[in-house]
Amino acid sequence: MEMLLLALAIAVGFIALAWSADRFVAGASAIARALGVSSMLIGLTVVGIGTSLPEMLVSAIAALDNTPGLALGNALGSNVANVGLIVGTTALLAPLAMHSRVLRREFPVLLGVVAITGLLLIDAQLSRIEGLGLLAGMLGVLIWMGWQSTRSSSESDPIAREIDAALPQAQPLIQSVTQALIALVVLLISSRVLVWSAVGLAEQIGVSDLVIGLTIVAVGTSLPELAAAIASVRRGDDDLAIGNIIGSNLFNLLGVLGIAAVITPFAIDGMSLARDYGIMTGFMLALVVVGFGMGRRGHIGRLEGGLLLVAFIAYQGLLFTMGQ
């Protein structure tokens, strides 16, 4: 009975998390638009952070509850889910074609962040200073994205047009602020419920909080990205779908891990970390390979999507089999 209640709490937490993240992104984007911020800058920064906000809040609460495995698993697992589950599923529904020059510039940045974060975690721990360094890196990436937005607007990059069409219509500023605040409150409450129920479920089924973070929680907190990707592809905005994934992956490593470490520095089992960080790195490399073109330049077809999805399912099965 207790396990059923925990599973129900997780389901409710996921639904509330996905809804509130979507409403927060819409409200924050409308606020930025009302303040005269360019559509391109909103798309690269506000939307990117907004879709990663569930991961950030869940990891922050997990750190406060002294469950670092859940925080780390959420960050790494969400990146794996972004590529394996979301890109894989989306490409199976409709092959993706990437044309944006901005996205091609972001791929090397993503690999650089993966490498730097790996170096910080090589001793199987993350200190408060290292967490602050990751947050400083996130600020640097945001500034770089802002600079890119000014360049790409003048270059009429395809993603600029897609972002402009996808952003919500103008609405009164007070309405946008109210919407964003209500969504943020629901985000906080649902994140609290999700962490409590996930830790409880891990204890009930006898797996580590790291595994729960890498699997159930990671998939659940990636639901906003999945919804955004499917909606983008249905509109034919392939570049925007991939751009949201790249941005989310960057902010998961820099923001999610950074926030968790600043709140509560943590150490983790070295063998598990090597396994999961190595697999996440493999998925990031796969995204870069298919993004730059495997057979056709910048084309992620159904074959590549299917391979990514199968790899993701196999990884989830491996985690539950090992249990830690």
Q: How many C-beta atoms lie closer than 10 Å to residue 308's C-beta?
A: 26
Under the banding of pLDDT at 50, 70 and 90, the label for residue 102 is: low
Mean pLDDT for the stretch of residues 285-294: 76
The residue whose two tokens read 């409403």 is: 23
| Mean pLDDT score of the chain | 82
Has residue 324 got a pLDDT over 70? no
How confident is the model at residue 217, as a pLDDT? 86
- For the entire predicted model, the pTM comes to 0.86
Chain center to CA of 43: 15
Bigger pLDDT: 238 vs 297: 238
Under the banding of pLDDT at 50, 70 and 90, the label for residue 161 is: low
Which residue type is seen at 45? Answer: T
Segments making up each domain of the chain, as ranges: 2-322
pLDDT in tens, 62-86: 888 888 888 888 899 999 999 999 9
Alpha helices in the chain (DSSP H): 2-34, 39-41, 47-64, 68-80, 88-93, 101-120, 128-155, 158-166, 173-205, 209-212, 218-221, 223-234, 238-251, 257-263, 270-292, 302-322
Bigger pLDDT: 164 vs 50: 50
pLDDT in tens, 217-240: 888 888 777 777 777 777 777 777
Under the banding of pLDDT at 50, 70 and 90, the label for residue 176 is: confident
Mean pLDDT for the stretch of residues 158-166: 65
Map 97-134 to HEC letters.
ECCCHHHHHHHHHHHHHHHHHHHHCCCCEECHHHHHHH
Under the banding of pLDDT at 50, 70 and 90, the label for residue 154 is: very low
Domain 2-322 sits in CATH 3.60.21.10: no
Which DSSP state fits 294? Answer: B
Mean pLDDT for the stretch of residues 27-49: 75
pLDDT in tens, 308-323: 999 999 998 888 787 5
